[in-house]
């Protein structure tokens, strides 16, 4: 059985045991889950069952599970924990995970946790907390292993042996100057296989570029796609090494970004609890529904403007959805390609004009082709050549407008600091509906009345 299917079946078994309140078997099964699996289980349970499952978690595992939970579920669970229990849960966590956890805690508990650390870890944690969570500084692990360029490999190895606690995932040694400014990377394979008398500066790889601490998480993901390494150095404004980002940090950031885009496209938040109270969930969705109502009323207003034409030629009302739907689908295709291209860094100022011309050409050809199809079908069904030709012309116009909108809308939204993955669909649908209705009914008013 594949591992993912096995994990899913275990969570299903846990849910069944929770329903039956079979605590002895429940405890054994909960202990067999990884922190991520336990977090998924908790997120998939209604609040009363969630509280029961949390009681079965070992105290030593609580911190790692809390880190894996989404913000709302984590806040709900931590609200029911004593201050001492929260401090104990934070003990032993990696500093980057600890930073994620304490960011959601009250200030007094955060200070207690920070005071419980030794001086070096305290300084490292405070340095991570100064950065936004969705930046390179917020994603980084502050612990690194470094060496100076003039150190021999023998000296570097001796330094590693004397190190009180090496990072769990030691992929490389960073080479820095006397002022801690990043110079390059000494791979572990070169460190172990090189001559003991060779220096770190001679064997280091100076090609990997460091990531600035203020770099947004989305750009960090893009940069990792272009480097042949599982880690990257993080530097401050002066080029000093302050931490590293590992591949698993990037995977977590990518997962969060994907969830945010999928749920944000319908006005939801990736940290929302799917089992939140009815009143809370209703309030969250009201704003998005209201926005969609405004855009729908705008499109309806265009139809009302041409009310005489619709009343005189009833066939227009039958074909209106066809015109709007074709524009919406065509625009969504272009919008999706643009949003994906922007997120991957493929769309740049240098190629936007070329993309616009290309999509306009595609829209023109599709518009002409499908206009002929619609004209033939409409004439065959309704035997009204005037309405058929007007519908064909409106579809051609709307597909051309949809192509332009699909390119320009995400660019404009990004320029004004709005995520095109969140708002692009609503804006595009409004544009294609309004233009489609206006073109169809406007042509009908001019030519048929």
Residue 382 in domain:
yes
CA dihedral for 369, 370, 375, 381, sign (positive or negative): positive
- The CA–CA distances, whole Å, from 158 to 123, 147, 152, 163, 344 equal 26, 11, 10, 9, 42
- Do 317 and 310 contact (CB within 8 A), yes or no? yes
156 plus 295 within the same structural domain: no
Query: Residue 244 belongs to what H/E stretch?
Result: strand 241-246
Q: Tell me how far apart the terminal alpha carbons of the chain are, to the nearest angstrom.
A: 69
DSSP assignment of 72-123 equals: HHHHHHHHTS-HHHHHHHHTT--HHHHHHHHTTS-HHHHHHHHHTS-HHHHH
101 plus 28 within the same structural domain: yes
CATH number where 380 lies: 1.10.357.20
Looking at 105, 132, 159, the residue that finishes a domain is 132
pLDDT of residue 284: 58
CA dihedral for 240, 241, 242, 244, sign (positive or negative): positive
What the block records as the tokens of 384 is 């009204």
- For the chain, which residues score pLDDT lower than 70? 1-26, 164, 228, 259-289, 292, 311-312, 344, 449
Q: Is 156 left (phi over 0), alpha (psi -120 to 50) or beta?
A: alpha
48 plus 79 within the same structural domain: yes
CATH number where 232 lies: 3.10.580.10
Residue 422 in domain:
yes
Residue 269 in domain:
no
Residue 427 in domain:
yes
CA-closest candidate to residue 220, choices 237, 238, 233, 206: 233
408 plus 344 within the same structural domain: yes
What the block records as the tokens of 288 is 């998005």
343 plus 205 within the same structural domain: no
164 plus 251 within the same structural domain: yes
282 plus 260 within the same structural domain: no
Looking at 236, 264, 292, the residue that finishes a domain is 264
pLDDT of residue 254: 79
Q: Which residues contact 262 (CB under 8 A, 6 or more apart)?
A: 270
Residue 139 in domain:
no
CATH number where 14 lies: 1.25.60.10
227 plus 313 within the same structural domain: no
Rounded CA-CA distance 403/356 in Å is: 8
93 plus 177 within the same structural domain: no
259 plus 377 within the same structural domain: no
- Do 377 and 333 contact (CB within 8 A), yes or no? no
Query: Residue 66 belongs to what H/E stretch?
Result: helix 62-68
Structure letter (DSSP) for residue 60:
G
pLDDT of residue 273: 57
Query: In which domain, by residue range, is 172 found?
Result: 146-264
Question: How many other CB atoms sit within 10 Å of the CB of residue 211?
Answer: 24
pLDDT of residue 407: 93
Residue 141 in domain:
no
Q: Find where tokens 């940090």 sit.
A: 249
Q: Summarize pLDDT for 254-297 with one digit per residue, the tens.
A: 777 776 666 555 555 555 555 666 666 666 566 666 776 777 77
Residue 138 in domain:
no
Q: Which residues contact 424 (CB under 8 A, 6 or more apart)?
A: 335, 339, 409, 410, 413
Looking at 132, 161, 177, the residue that finishes a domain is 132
pLDDT of residue 412: 92
Q: Which residues contact 315 (CB under 8 A, 6 or more apart)?
A: 382, 384, 387
CA-closest candidate to residue 208, choices 155, 256, 171: 171
Determine the length of the chain: 449
Strands 146-147 and 182-187: unpaired
Residue 270 in domain:
no
Q: Number of structural domains, the chain?
A: 3
Rounded CA-CA distance 152/156 in Å is: 6
122 plus 48 within the same structural domain: yes
301 plus 347 within the same structural domain: yes
């Amino acid at each position: 059985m594949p591992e993912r299917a096995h994990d899913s079946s275990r969570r299903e078994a846990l849910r069944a045991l929770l329903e039956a309140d079979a605590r002895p078997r429940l405890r054994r099964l909960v202990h067999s889950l990884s922190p991520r699996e336990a977090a998924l289980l908790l997120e998939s349970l209604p609040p009363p069952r969630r509280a029961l499952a949390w009681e079965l978690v070992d105290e030593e595992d609580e911190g790692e599970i809390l880190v894996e939970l989404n913000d709302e579920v984590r806040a709900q669970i931590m609200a029911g924990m004593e201050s001492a229990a929260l401090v104990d849960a934070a003990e032993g966590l990696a500093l980057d995970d600890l930073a994620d956890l304490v960011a959601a805690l009250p200030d007094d508990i955060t200070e207690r946790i920070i005071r419980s650390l030794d001086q070096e870890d305290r300084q490292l944690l405070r340095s991570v907390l100064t950065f936004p969570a969705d930046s390179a500084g917020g994603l980084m692990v502050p612990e690194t292993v470094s060496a100076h360029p003039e150190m021999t490999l023998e000296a570097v190895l001796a330094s590693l042996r004397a190190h009180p606690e090496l990072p769990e995932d030691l992929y490389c040694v960073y080479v820095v100057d006397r002022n801690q400014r990043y110079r390059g990377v000494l791979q572990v394979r070169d460190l172990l296989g090189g001559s003991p008398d060779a220096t770190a500066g001679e064997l280091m790889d100076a090609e990997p570029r460091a990531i600035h601490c203020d770099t947004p998480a989305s750009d960090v993901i893009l940069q990792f796609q272009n480097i042949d390494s599982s880690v990257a150095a993080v530097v401050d404004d002066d080029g000093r090494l302050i931490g590293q980002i590992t591949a698993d940090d990037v995977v977590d950031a990518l997962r969060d970004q994907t969830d945010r885009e999928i749920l944000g496209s319908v006005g939801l938040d990736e940290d929302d609890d799917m089992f939140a109270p009815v009143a809370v969930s209703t309030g969250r969705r009201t704003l998005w529904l209201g926005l969609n109502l405004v855009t729908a009323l705008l499109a309806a207003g265009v139809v009302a403007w041409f009310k005489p034409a619709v009343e005189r030629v009833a066939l227009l009302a039958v074909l209106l959805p066809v015109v709007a739907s074709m524009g919406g689908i065509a625009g969504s295709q272009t919008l999706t390609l643009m949003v994906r291209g922007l997120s991957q860094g493929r769309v740049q100022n240098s190629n936007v004009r070329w993309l616009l011309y290309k999509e306009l050409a595609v829209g023109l050809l599709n518009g002409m082709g499908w206009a002929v199809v619609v004209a033939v079908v409409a004439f065959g069904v309704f035997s009204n050549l005037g309405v058929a030709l007007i519908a064909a012309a409106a579809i051609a116009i709307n597909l051309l407008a949809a192509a332009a909108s699909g390119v320009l809308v995400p660019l404009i939204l990004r320029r004004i600091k709005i995520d095109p993955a969140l708002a692009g669909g609503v804006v595009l649908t409004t544009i294609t509906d309004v233009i489609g209705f206006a073109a169809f009914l406007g042509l009908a008013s001019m030519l048929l009345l």
